[in-house]
Amino acid sequence: MLLELTGLSKRFGPVEVLSDVDLAIDAGEVCALVGDNGAGKSTLVKCIAGIHAIDGGTINVDGRPRGISGPRDAAALGIEIVYQDLALCDNLDVVENLFLGRERRRGLVLDDDAMEQLAAETLESLAVRTIRNLRQPVASLSGGQRQTVAIAKAVLWNSRLVILDEPTAALGVAQTRQVLELIRRLADQGLAVLYISHNLNDVFAVADRIATLYLGRMAAVLDAADTTQSQVVELITSGRSGSLGLIDTNGVRP
């Protein structure tokens, strides 16, 4: 397993936001993380990213326990996160954005040619045909193209786990399709993908496994091939579905 969370818990003061969460993600698969608002999805991602310190449990990467105490630690382990707001700079062009903060240098000056070539190769490997000009400012790109740049930025650094927080939330239909195909391609190329979404259609279109959080607890982690939409909806809304999910339904530990 590339990433394995065991018994993860996180409190904000008296509020237990995550309690005893187990999740494992392997290379080459898309694991979708679903749950209602406030179920703890974003907190879980921030714990993996090192933004929040965890209060209990362990995070194993490649089978070894790791302390992730900041985004730099996460990046060093090959974990990259694409946030909802994308964090791109409008006034910079595509290449500058991809390498922002990690520019290649040749002596004292930036190695623009090498960066442009690497950017082109990365986009090529992701079969991105929507961005023609790598030197156009990001401000002139559409929502789908921006999302593509943000994802490419995450893939550029030999990352092994890419976490996507609602990547299709603000996109139109055609752009959503492109991003979904891109997500699938990332996993097919051997990356692990943790994909957070509210849209079950999008989840079913790309996910190999579906993990459902309910009030800070992991209700179930199911194979997408064995699951139906109504089961996932029940797990999201009530934490259980038939024999699946949490034993108690009110979110209180028995």
Give the footprint of another protein on this chain (CB under 8 A): 127, 172-174, 176-177, 180-181, 184-185, 188, 200-206, 223-230
Which residue from 42, 55, 6, 40 is spatially nearest to 214, judged by alpha carbons? 40
Strand partners, 25: 3
Q: Which is nearer to another protein, 108 or 174 (CB)?
A: 174
C-alpha atoms less than 13 angstroms from C-alpha of 50 in its C-beta half-sphere: 16
DSSP, res 138: G
C-alpha atoms less than 13 angstroms from C-alpha of 177 in its C-beta half-sphere: 3
Which residue from 185, 82, 86 is spatially nearest to 138, judged by alpha carbons? 86
Long-range Cβ contacts of 11-15 (<8 Å, 24+ apart): 11/55
Q: Which is nearer to another protein, 51 or 126 (CB)?
A: 126
Q: Which is nearer to another protein, 16 or 166 (CB)?
A: 166
Shortest Å distance, C-beta 142 to another protein: 15
Q: Which residue has the tokens 């064995």?
A: 226
Shortest Å distance, C-beta 22 to another protein: 22
Instruction: Residue 9: count other Cβ atoms within 10 Å of its Cβ.
Output: 17
Shortest Å distance, C-beta 170 to another protein: 12
Shortest Å distance, C-beta 230 to another protein: 7
Strand partners, 200: none
Q: Which is nearer to another protein, 113 or 181 (CB)?
A: 181
Shortest Å distance, C-beta 10 to another protein: 30
Q: Which is nearer to another protein, 2 or 206 (CB)?
A: 206
Q: Which is nearer to another protein, 121 or 248 (CB)?
A: 121
Shortest Å distance, C-beta 124 to another protein: 13
Shortest Å distance, C-beta 130 to another protein: 13
Q: Which is nearer to another protein, 97 or 212 (CB)?
A: 212
Which residue from 207, 82, 167, 182 is spatially nearest to 127, judged by alpha carbons? 182
SS3 (DSSP) at 41: helix
d(CA 37, CA 120): 38
